[in-house]
Amino acid sequence: MDHFPTNWGRPRNDMFDAYGTYPIHQRPDNRPKDTFADSVQRTQQPIVTGTSVLAIKFKDGIMMAADNLASYGSLARFKDVQRLHPVGRYTVIGAGGDMSDFQHIQHILEEVQIAESTQQDGHELGPVEIHEYMSQVMYARRSKLDPLWNSLLIGGFKDGKRFLSYVDLLGTTYSASTLATGFGAYIAQPLLRKAVEGHEDDLTAEQAQNILEYCMRVLFYRDARSLDKYQIATITAEGVNISGSLKLQTSWDFAENIRGYGAQTQ
* Binding site residues, another protein, CB under 8 A: 43-45, 107, 110-111, 114-115, 117-118, 120, 139, 142-143, 145, 147, 166, 170-176, 185-186, 189
Q: Nearer Cβ to another protein, position 99 or 227?
A: 99
- Shortest distance, position 51 Cβ to another protein, whole Å: 16
Q: Which helix (H) or strand (E) holds 184?
A: helix 184-196
- Shortest distance, position 189 Cβ to another protein, whole Å: 7
Q: Nearer Cβ to another protein, position 97 or 248?
A: 97
- Shortest distance, position 119 Cβ to another protein, whole Å: 8
Widest distance between CA atoms in the chain: 92
- Shortest distance, position 58 Cβ to another protein, whole Å: 18
Task: Cite the active site residues.
Answer: 43
Report the C-alpha gap between 117 and 137 in whole angstroms: 20
Q: Nearer Cβ to another protein, position 3 or 144?
A: 144
**What are the Cα distances from residue 246, in Å, to 49, 180, 209, 254?**
20, 19, 12, 24
Q: Nearer Cβ to another protein, position 200 or 213?
A: 200
**What are the Cα distances from residue 114, in Å, to 52, 87, 124?**
29, 11, 10
Report the C-alpha gap between 162 and 237 in whole angstroms: 9
Report the C-alpha gap between 80 and 159 in whole angstroms: 33
Please state the φ and ψ torsions of residue 77, each to the nearest 5 degrees. -80, -50
